[in-house]
Amino acid sequence: MDNFFSNPKLTQNSLSTLLGIKLQLITKKRFVITRIEVTNYITRHLYDILSNLIVFFLCMNHIFYLLLLFFARKFAMSLTLGFSQILIL
Protein backbone atom coordinates (compact mmCIF):
# COMPACT_ATOMS: atom_id res chain seq x y z
CA MET A 1 0.00 0.00 0.00
CA ASP A 2 2.92 2.27 0.75
CA ASN A 3 4.30 1.78 -2.78
CA PHE A 4 0.92 2.69 -4.30
CA PHE A 5 0.80 6.13 -2.64
CA SER A 6 4.51 6.85 -2.97
CA ASN A 7 4.41 6.63 -6.78
CA PRO A 8 2.05 9.42 -8.07
CA LYS A 9 2.42 8.26 -11.68
CA LEU A 10 1.10 4.83 -10.76
CA THR A 11 -1.84 6.43 -8.98
CA GLN A 12 -2.65 8.64 -11.96
CA ASN A 13 -2.40 5.74 -14.41
CA SER A 14 -4.60 3.46 -12.35
CA LEU A 15 -7.18 6.23 -11.90
CA SER A 16 -7.24 6.97 -15.62
CA THR A 17 -7.55 3.26 -16.33
CA LEU A 18 -10.45 2.95 -13.91
CA LEU A 19 -12.11 6.03 -15.40
CA GLY A 20 -11.55 4.68 -18.91
CA ILE A 21 -13.16 1.37 -18.01
CA LYS A 22 -16.09 3.20 -16.40
CA LEU A 23 -16.53 5.43 -19.50
CA GLN A 24 -16.36 2.40 -21.77
CA LEU A 25 -19.08 0.68 -19.76
CA ILE A 26 -21.28 3.79 -19.88
CA THR A 27 -20.85 4.29 -23.62
CA LYS A 28 -21.41 0.60 -24.34
CA LYS A 29 -24.58 0.65 -22.28
CA ARG A 30 -25.80 3.75 -24.11
CA PHE A 31 -25.01 2.16 -27.47
CA VAL A 32 -26.90 -1.01 -26.57
CA ILE A 33 -29.90 1.02 -25.41
CA THR A 34 -29.99 3.05 -28.60
CA ARG A 35 -29.59 -0.07 -30.73
CA ILE A 36 -32.44 -1.78 -28.88
CA GLU A 37 -34.58 1.35 -29.23
CA VAL A 38 -33.90 1.47 -32.97
CA THR A 39 -34.79 -2.18 -33.44
CA ASN A 40 -37.96 -1.72 -31.39
CA TYR A 41 -38.92 1.28 -33.50
CA ILE A 42 -38.28 -0.64 -36.74
CA THR A 43 -40.30 -3.65 -35.62
CA ARG A 44 -43.17 -1.44 -34.46
CA HIS A 45 -43.25 0.59 -37.65
CA LEU A 46 -42.14 -2.07 -40.14
CA TYR A 47 -45.41 -1.97 -42.06
CA ASP A 48 -45.27 1.82 -42.43
CA ILE A 49 -41.63 1.76 -43.49
CA LEU A 50 -42.20 -0.99 -46.08
CA SER A 51 -45.30 0.66 -47.51
CA ASN A 52 -43.48 4.00 -47.78
CA LEU A 53 -40.56 2.31 -49.54
CA ILE A 54 -42.88 0.54 -51.97
CA VAL A 55 -44.69 3.78 -52.78
CA PHE A 56 -41.35 5.55 -53.20
CA PHE A 57 -40.02 2.93 -55.62
CA LEU A 58 -43.28 2.88 -57.59
CA CYS A 59 -43.13 6.66 -57.95
CA MET A 60 -39.48 6.56 -58.96
CA ASN A 61 -40.24 3.81 -61.46
CA HIS A 62 -43.14 5.81 -62.89
CA ILE A 63 -41.00 8.98 -63.16
CA PHE A 64 -38.22 6.97 -64.82
CA TYR A 65 -40.61 5.56 -67.42
CA LEU A 66 -42.09 9.01 -68.09
CA LEU A 67 -38.62 10.44 -68.66
CA LEU A 68 -37.71 7.49 -70.86
CA LEU A 69 -40.89 7.96 -72.88
CA PHE A 70 -40.23 11.69 -73.23
CA PHE A 71 -36.67 11.19 -74.45
CA ALA A 72 -37.71 8.32 -76.73
CA ARG A 73 -40.27 10.59 -78.38
CA LYS A 74 -37.65 13.34 -78.79
CA PHE A 75 -35.20 10.83 -80.22
CA ALA A 76 -37.82 9.39 -82.59
CA MET A 77 -38.79 12.90 -83.74
CA SER A 78 -35.18 13.80 -84.42
CA LEU A 79 -34.68 10.54 -86.34
CA THR A 80 -37.76 11.11 -88.50
CA LEU A 81 -36.72 14.70 -89.17
CA GLY A 82 -33.26 13.49 -90.13
CA PHE A 83 -34.65 10.82 -92.46
CA SER A 84 -37.07 13.27 -94.04
CA GLN A 85 -34.23 15.71 -94.72
CA ILE A 86 -32.19 12.88 -96.27
CA LEU A 87 -35.15 11.87 -98.44
CA ILE A 88 -35.73 15.48 -99.54
CA LEU A 89 -32.10 15.83 -100.61
Q: Please enumerate in sequence order all residues whose Cβ is within 8 A of that of 3, keeping only pairs 6 or more positions apart, or say none.
A: 10
| DSSP letter string, 6-58 | H-HHHHHHHHHHHHHHHHHHHHHHHHHHHHHHHHHHHHHTHHHHHHHHHHHHH
pLDDT digits (tens, 9 = 90+) for 1-52: 445 455 555 444 555 555 555 555 555 555 555 667 777 777 777 777 777 7
The pLDDT value given to residue 1: 47
Q: What b/e string do you get for 63-75 counting C-beta neighbours within 10 Å, with b at 16 or more?
A: eeeeeeeeeeeee
For the whole prediction, is pTM greater than 0.75? no
